[in-house]
């Protein structure tokens, strides 16, 4: 027969083991690193599986919400969605405020998805407003808590791709034509707009003399057509370009090199 003190120790061991084994499953299911990735206003919500999840054994549910940015402005006419906050210091002037938040909305295309991403481009198309996204996971009948993104404002955070270049030789010179990155298709359906409608863009063009292994910046400005002159005959050159955004002090990656032989 087992001594009383040994039996009591056995019960305590079983109890502790049971407690450890019944920790809430939702904590280990909770999606990790939930964040927006944005390029040229293509806004994709991405996440990693929870600590206990492997393979495709789980499904995910996505919601999003817009937060009003609510600036204060002086106007005689009440802006849409705003309320009168206070009066200005001179007669007839009013200051309006707009703030608050909307309810979480389900993203139907990503409701019960097995993917680790969700395209929220259409839902975040007002690029100067701040948004949040959140994701929860379900597996074997258990649900995680929601995991939320940091605040995301497309105008501030989208990354701009490098320009696309077309190069033509003209009488020993190179004519470089630059194209700004394409916007998502939904923008093109509304009207013929470019990313230049949202930012001041500065184009930088560099030329590399392959014989001398020397790089030189030959242009910086807002024009998208650049002529590169004074090239050495029978030489090989490569051209590369990037976009600079002065307001954000940010530049794109460089374009792919385009190389030519000067006759």
Q: Which two tokens stand for residue 80?
A: 């849409």
Asked whether the predicted pLDDT for residue 131 surpasses 90, the reply is yes
Taking CA atoms, 239 is separated from 33, 145, 223, 245, in Å, by 38, 51, 16, 20
Asked whether residue 176 falls in the same domain as residue 233, the answer is: yes
By CB atoms closer than 10 A (0-12, 13-18, 19+), residue 88 is: exposed
Is 18 among the domain residues?
no
Instruction: State whether 39 and 150 are in the same domain.
Output: yes
- Res 28 pLDDT > 70: yes
Residue 138: pLDDT band (50, 70, 90) is very high
What is residue 186's predicted lDDT score, i.e. its pLDDT? 64
Residue 1: inside a domain, yes or no?
no
Query: What confidence tier does 255 reach under pLDDT thresholds 50, 70, 90?
Result: very high
CB-based contacts of 119: which residues, under 8 Å, 6+ apart? Answer: 42, 43, 44, 45, 109
What is the number of domains present in the chain? 2
CA distance 49 to 52: 8
pLDDT digits 0-9 by tens, 71-99: 444 444 444 444 444 433 434 444 444 45
Domain-ending residue, one of 137, 157, 177: 157
Assess whether 49 and 168 both reside in one domain. no
Please, are residues 218 and 165 in contact by the beta-carbon 8 Å criterion?
Answer: no
In a domain, 7, yes or no: no
Give the least confident one: 6-20, 62-76, 229-243: 6-20
For 143-169, the pLDDT digits (tens) are: 999 999 999 999 999 999 999 999 999
199, 188 in Cβ contact below 8 A? no
Shared domain for 136 and 194, answered yes or no, is no
Q: How confident is the model at residue 101 (pLDDT cuts 50, 70, 90)?
A: low
196/35: higher pLDDT: 35
Asked if residue 241 and residue 183 are part of one domain, the reply reads yes
Residue 39 and residue 153 in one domain: yes
Q: What is the pLDDT averaged over residues 125-130?
A: 91
Residue-level pLDDT at 108: 97
Domain boundary pick from 157, 173, 202: 157
CATH at 248: 2.60.40.10
Domain of residue 213, residue span: 164-261
Assigned domain for 194 exists = yes
Nearest to 126 by CA among 155, 160, 97, 102: 155
pLDDT digits (tens, 9 = 90+) for 188-223: 565 667 888 899 999 999 999 988 888 999 999 999
Task: Answer whether residue 110 is part of any domain.
Answer: yes
Between strands 236-245 and 250-251, the pairing is antiparallel
Phi and psi (nearest 5°) for 157?
-110, -15
Asked if 112 and 208 sit in the same domain, the reply is no
Distance CA 47, CA 31 (A): 6
Same domain for 57 and 181, yes or no, is: no
């Amino acid at each position: 027969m087992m001594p009383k003190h040994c039996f009591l120790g056995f019960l305590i061991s079983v109890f502790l083991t049971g407690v450890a084994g019944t920790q809430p499953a939702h904590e280990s299911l909770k999606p990790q690193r939930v964040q927006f990735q944005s390029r040229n206003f293509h806004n994709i919500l991405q996440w990693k599986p929870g600590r206990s999840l492997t393979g495709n054994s789980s499904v995910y549910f996505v919601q999003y919400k817009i937060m009003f940015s609510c600036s204060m402005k002086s106007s005689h006419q009440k802006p849409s969605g705003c309320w009168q906050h206070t009066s200005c210091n001179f007669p007839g002037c009013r200051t309006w405020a707009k703030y608050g938040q909307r309810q979480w909305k389900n993203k139907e295309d990503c409701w019960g998805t097995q993917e680790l991403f969700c395209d929220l481009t259409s839902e975040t198309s007002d690029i100067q407003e701040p948004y949040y996204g959140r994701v929860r996971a379900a597996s074997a009948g258990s649900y995680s808590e929601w995991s939320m993104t940091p605040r995301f404002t497309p105008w501030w955070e989208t990354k701009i791709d490098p320009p696309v270049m077309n190069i033509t030789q003209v009488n020993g010179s190179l004519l470089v034509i630059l194209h700004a990155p394409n916007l998502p298709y939904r923008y093109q359906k509304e009207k013929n707009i470019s990313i230049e409608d949202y930012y001041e863009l500065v184009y930088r063009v560099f030329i590399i003399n392959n014989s001398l292994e020397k790089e030189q910046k030959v242009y910086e400005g807002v024009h998208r057509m650049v002529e590169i002159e004074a090239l050495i005959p029978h030489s090989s050159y490569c051209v590369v370009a990037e976009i600079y955004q002065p307001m954000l002090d940010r530049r794109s990656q460089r374009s792919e090199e385009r190389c030519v032989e000067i006759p």
